[in-house]
């Protein structure tokens, strides 16, 4: 998330004077309006804010004027041509979905300072006034419009430091030199050069006056004589960060890059044809839907509830939402029934269980179209068995697909995103369903929802209900073993440091490494894993710290945490998150079984504590090199396709072609390097990244990648084509039509743009792999049921499925897995699945 704060008066002034006078056909002045919106379009494209506030001055005295009537007294009055455009600017911003904030008695700077201070998000302030540089911090940057509306400087603490200043120094500087434009007096006789020198030497005004006797001659006299003026100027120059703004809920500042359609109509009215092409506007139907306001009807009896449900049957539509204090039900978009939980010891109760039990029989009716938010969670609320899972439209998943991987935690958040009323949730779900269906249809992504995400819900629910059996004693043994080693490693660290300290404290660790042991650092004394990795050969303490961190993570995140999650039947039930990742991949939590670090032997040992049910065996079915196979399919490169069709060792075949040797002459080093570039290409690896991976120079890595792309020339074409497509359209897709928006790819910021380019290369491959494993899960689940097999899918880890299978079914299930997983999607190369088994997860893999 990112908050964009606009110093609107400053920016509209810049726009007015930077552009020639513009008028529309009716004679309205529009130049400043055009310039401001033009600037905003570029900011949206480069910064991708999730929240925007346009702060305006109020045309009346502020608290500063009340104390000093000379404040800003020398400023010329606003030209009438500009003054007329300010109300129009506010109206257009509101139409665009930008929050407009003004506060009587305070300036726009004070609003900006307060919101920046209260925000937890990265914040960007845009202003033509250098006053706001005092708000710069690690979290807040300032874009200063130096000249006109296009010449912009990005100020961070580091950039200010290069100019010899700190954010606080901006206030101190004005206290001494004053500010002609704001009529801040400062100290008479102190200019910019002297003021800068004094601030750099003494830091603050208070410290300067504590040491004023160190300053000699007339300058000392000026400072002493002007002390009262300096301190008053300090007060005038300080931006307020606690203005009385109701800013507790930042959701009201939420911004969508899909601009409401009514803003387009306003821009057309102002004849801003070129500007209109820079924005994406919502469908006009959305405006019509958003205007609807349902009536809430309170239901306080069982008969009333039954009547509502009967109406649902008559209308053939049931939308419901189960909240903490009520259930909302709707059968159309106009009336929202609210049934609050009530408990009466002597009369009729209408409690949580009563209401859900009354609704439950309707869930399996084939003549009802059901709509909910988070279908899997609704299965859980009704305490359904997997066989009772009902069919329904899930607007959470619909929004996840329609909005290109955006996760919405609640229906309220989603309703606000589409500017729909959140006072009637159930009717809101019906409105969202209509809106999102249309959006997916227009984007050709409805198939992803209908054929992948929705059918996957009951599969995931069954997996969660089943859980994974755990050997608690094995976890205890590992906990004791790693706890003992952790203590021993800590003692080694203390011995190497020469004293005890808190190894978990980055500050204390930094002091030990860089102050006491004098290890070199170029990254602000960071103790991150990447920095420590570079220092490992310089001192034995580094390897012990890395070992300590590994053991500490395994204990806290997995061994200790997982023991508390084992149920009475000895099973752990992880939660599969279906709508969190931008690529379509599943993630898991509570606990995250996908992230057990299997590269380390200790992580693999944790897997040995996961075991099958009594009389069963664990089966692992893992797609082999699926993303490389997809690279061959997407690129159509004959060389890569040929290697897969022949069943060659793809890394050895690649090494042989790059190094010009026979496959029998390929060394393990050659194969390892070829493997690094094979997989690195998928993630858009750089010359530097490959050099780090294979241990060579950047030039050698560059030459290696060039050879690789010469060997497989159509991969180069695919890479260029993916990036070019994303730059033109702003998104990329999977084979099935899943979309990932990539606004970053056209950013003016190099790092942001590079990220977008890497995502443009990787998303079609990783996203299609995610679609394939999801489709495989659906197919395998259905095939197991069809063949009346007892084997169950219990876990998915990226390209791998884990099944808990009766030993007697092992051969049948193995054949089923090959058949269903390898034929899930036709490609130019065959999909290949490795199937293995064992009595623990570690053995099975």
The pLDDT score that the predictor gives to residue 181 is 77
Average pLDDT for residues 68-87, to the nearest whole number? 79
Q: Residue 427 above 90 pLDDT?
A: yes
* Interacting residues of 130 by C-beta distance below 8 A, sequence separation 6+: 144, 170
Q: Within its chain, how far is the Cα of 349 from the centroid?
A: 44
Reported as a single tens digit per residue, the pLDDT across 626-651 is 999 999 999 999 999 999 999 988 89
- Tell me what percent of the residues of the chain surpass a pLDDT of 90: 48
Show the CA angle centred on residue 289, arms to residues 284 and 290, nearest 5°: 95
Query: 181 vs 74, 162, 209, 211, CA distance in Å?
Result: 7, 25, 26, 30
Domain ranges of the chain: 3-160+239-261, 284-443, 447-470+575-634+731-845, 484-565, 638-711
Local confidence band at 617 (pLDDT 50, 70, 90 cut-offs): very high
pLDDT in tens, 694-744: 788 888 888 888 888 999 999 999 999 999 999 888 899 999 999 998 888
User: Shortest CA distance to 154 belongs to which of 178, 125, 177, 181?
Assistant: 125
pLDDT tens, residue by residue, 280-316? 887 776 666 666 677 889 998 999 999 999 999 999 9
Question: Phi then psi for 558, rounded to 5 degrees?
Answer: -115, -65
- One DSSP character per residue, 529-542 reads HHHHHHHTTT-HHH
pLDDT by residue (tens digit) across 744-764? 887 777 788 888 899 999 999
Q: Where are the beta strands (DSSP E) in 73-190?
A: 99-102, 123-127, 140-147, 151-155
Mean pLDDT of 182-189: 82
Q: Which two tokens stand for residue 517?
A: 């042991």
For 281, the enclosing helix (H) or strand (E) is strand 280-281
522 strand-pairing partners: none
pLDDT at 538 over 60: yes
pLDDT tens, 429-475?
999 999 999 999 989 999 999 999 999 999 999 999 999 999 999 99
Q: Which residues contact 80 (CB under 8 A, 6 or more apart)?
A: none
Cβ-defined contacts of 57-66 (< 8 Å, 24+)? 57/9, 57/102, 57/107, 57/108, 58/102, 58/103, 58/104, 58/105, 58/106, 60/104, 60/105, 61/105, 62/105, 62/106, 62/107, 62/110, 63/105, 63/106, 64/107, 64/236
pLDDT of residue 279: 87
Q: Does residue 4 register a pLDDT over 90?
A: yes
Cα gap 333→286, rounded to integer Å: 14
Q: What is the pLDDT of residue 779?
A: 98
61 backbone dihedrals φ, ψ, rounded to 5°: -60, 145
Residue 74: pLDDT over 80 = no
Spell out the SS3 assignment of 552-592: HHHHHHHHHHHHCCCCCCCEECCEEECCCCCCCCCEEECCC
Share the mean pLDDT of the chain: 89
Query: How long is the chain?
Result: 845
**Beta strands 369-372 and 393-394, pairing class:** parallel
Q: What is the pLDDT of residue 291?
A: 60
Task: Report the CATH fold assignment for 3-160+239-261.
Answer: Rossmann fold (3.40.50)
Q: What is the rounded average pLDDT of the residues 7-14?
A: 88
- CATH of span 484-565: 1.20.1060.10
Helices 638-645 and 650-659, packing angle to 10 deg: 140
347 pLDDT more than 60: no
Q: Which of 149-158, 512-521, 658-667 has the lowest mean pLDDT?
A: 149-158
Q: What is the pLDDT of residues 213-235, one digit of tens each?
A: 888 888 887 888 778 888 888 88
Min mean pLDDT across 68-77, 614-623, 790-799 is at 68-77
Model confidence pLDDT, tens digit, residues 493-507 = 999 999 999 998 888
Structure tokens at 273: 């044809």
Hunting for tokens 């305490």 — which residue is that? 383
* Average pLDDT, integer, range 91-120: 90
Q: Which residues contact 668 (CB under 8 A, 6 or more apart)?
A: none
CATH (one of 3.30.70.370, 3.40.50.300, 3.40.50.80, 3.40.630.20) for 447-470+575-634+731-845 = 3.30.70.370
User: In the predicted model, what is the mean pLDDT of residues 591-614?
Assistant: 90
Stretch 789-807: mean pLDDT? 97
CATH class of 284-443: alpha beta
What are the C-alpha distances in Å from 670 to residues 541, 564, 653, 793, 800? 33, 46, 10, 38, 28
Calculate mean pLDDT across residues 683-692.
81
Considering the chain, what percentage of its residues have pLDDT values greater than 70? 97
């Amino acid at each position: 998330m990112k908050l964009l704060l606009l110093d609107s008066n400053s920016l509209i002034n810049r726009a007015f004077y930077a552009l020639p006078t513009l008028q529309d056909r009716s004679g309205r002045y529009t130049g400043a309006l055009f310039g401001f919106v033009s600037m905003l379009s570029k900011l949206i494209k480069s910064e991708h804010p999730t929240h925007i506030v346009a702060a305006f001055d109020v045309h009346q005295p502020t608290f500063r004027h009340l104390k000093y009537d000379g404040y800003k007294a020398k400023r010329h009055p606003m030209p009438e041509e500009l003054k007329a455009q300010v109300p129009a600017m506010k109206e257009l911003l509101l139409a665009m979905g930008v929050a407009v904030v003004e506060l009587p008695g305070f300036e726009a700077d004070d609003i900006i300072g307060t919101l920046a201070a209260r925000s937890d998000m990265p914040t960007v302030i845009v202003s033509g006034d250098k006053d706001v540089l005092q708000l710069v911090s690690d979290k807040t940057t300032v874009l200063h419009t130096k000249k006109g509306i296009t010449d912009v400087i990005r100020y961070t603490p580091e950039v200010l430091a290069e100019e010899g200043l700190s954010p606080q120094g901006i206030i101190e500087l004005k206290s001494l030199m004053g500010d002609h434009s704001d009529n801040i007096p400062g100290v008479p006789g102190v200019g910019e050069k002297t003021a800068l020198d004094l601030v750099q030497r003494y830091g603050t005004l208070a410290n300067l006056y504590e040491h004023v006797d160190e300053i000699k001659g007339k300058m000392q006299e000026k400072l002493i004589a002007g002390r009262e003026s300096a301190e008053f100027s300090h007060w005038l120059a300080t931006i307020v960060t606690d203005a009385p703004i109701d800013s507790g809920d930042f959701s009201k500042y939420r911004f969508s890059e899909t601009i409401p359609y009514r803003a387009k109509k306003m821009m057309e009215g102002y004849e801003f044809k070129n500007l209109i092409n820079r924005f994406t506007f919502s469908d006009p139907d959305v405006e019509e839907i958003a205007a609807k306001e349902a009536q809430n009807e309170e239901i306080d009896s069982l008969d009333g509830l039954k009547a509502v449900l009967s109406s649902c049957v008559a209308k053939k539509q049931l939308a419901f939402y189960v909240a903490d204090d009520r259930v909302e039900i709707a059968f159309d978009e106009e009336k929202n029934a609210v049934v609050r939980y009530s408990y009466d010891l002597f009369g009729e109760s209408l409690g949580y269980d009563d209401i859900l039990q009354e609704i439950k029989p309707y869930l399996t009716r084939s003549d009802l179209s059901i709509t909910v938010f988070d279908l899997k969670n609704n299965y859980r609320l009704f305490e359904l068995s997997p066989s009772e899972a009902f069919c329904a439209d899930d607007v959470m998943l619909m929004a996840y697909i329609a909005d290109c991987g955006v996760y919405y935690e609640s229906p309220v958040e989603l309703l606000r995103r589409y500017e729909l009323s959140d006072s009637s949730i159930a009717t809101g779900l019906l409105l969202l369903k209509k809106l999102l269906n249309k959006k997916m249809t227009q984007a050709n992504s409805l198939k992803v929802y209908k054929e992948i995400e929705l059918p996957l819900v009951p599969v995931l629910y069954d997996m969660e209900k089943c859980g994974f059996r755990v050997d608690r004693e094995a976890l205890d043994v590992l906990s004791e073993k790693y706890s003992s080693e952790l203590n021993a490693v800590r003692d080694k660290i203390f011995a190497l440091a020469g004293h005890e300290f808190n190894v978990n404290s980055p500050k204390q660790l930094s002091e030990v490494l860089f102050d006491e042991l004098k290890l070199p650092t170029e990254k602000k004394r960071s103790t991150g894993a990447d920095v420590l990795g570079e220092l490992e050969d310089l001192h034995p303490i580094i390897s012990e710290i890395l070992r300590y961190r590994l053991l500490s993570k395994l204990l806290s995140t997995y061994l200790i945490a997982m023991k508390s999650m084992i149920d009475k039947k000895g099973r752990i039930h992880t939660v599969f998150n279906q709508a969190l990742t931008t690529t379509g991949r599943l993630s898991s939590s509570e606990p995250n079984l996908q992230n057990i670090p299997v590269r380390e032997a200790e992580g693999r040992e944790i897997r040995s504590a996961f075991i099958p049910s009594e009389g069963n065996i664990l089966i692992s079915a893992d797609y082999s090199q699926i993303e490389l196979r997809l690279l061959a399919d997407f690129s159509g490169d004959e060389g890569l396709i040929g290697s897969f069709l022949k069943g060659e060792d793809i890394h050895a075949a690649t090494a042989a072609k790059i190094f010009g040797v026979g496959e029998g002459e390929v060394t393990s080093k050659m194969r390892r390097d070829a493997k690094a570039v094979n997989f690195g290409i998928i993630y858009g690896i750089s010359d530097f990244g490959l050099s780090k991976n294979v241990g060579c120079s950047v030039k050698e890595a560059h030459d290696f990648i060039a050879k690789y792309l010469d060997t497989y020339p159509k991969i180069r074409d695919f890479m260029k084509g993916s990036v070019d497509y994303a730059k033109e359209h702003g998104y990329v897709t999977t084979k099935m039509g899943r979309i990932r928006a990539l606004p970053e790819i056209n950013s003016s910021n190099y790092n942001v743009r590079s990220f977008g380019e890497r995502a443009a290369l990787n998303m079609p491959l990783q996203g299609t792999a995610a679609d394939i494993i999801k489709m495989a899960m659906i197919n395998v689940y259905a095939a197991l049921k069809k063949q009346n097999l007892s084997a169950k899918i219990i876990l998915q880890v990226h390209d791998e499925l884990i099944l808990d299978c009766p030993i007697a079914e092992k051969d049948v299930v193995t054949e089923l897995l090959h058949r269903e997983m390898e034929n899930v999607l036709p490609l130019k190369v065959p999909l290949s699945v490795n199937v293995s088994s064992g009595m623990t997860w570690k053995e099975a893999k």
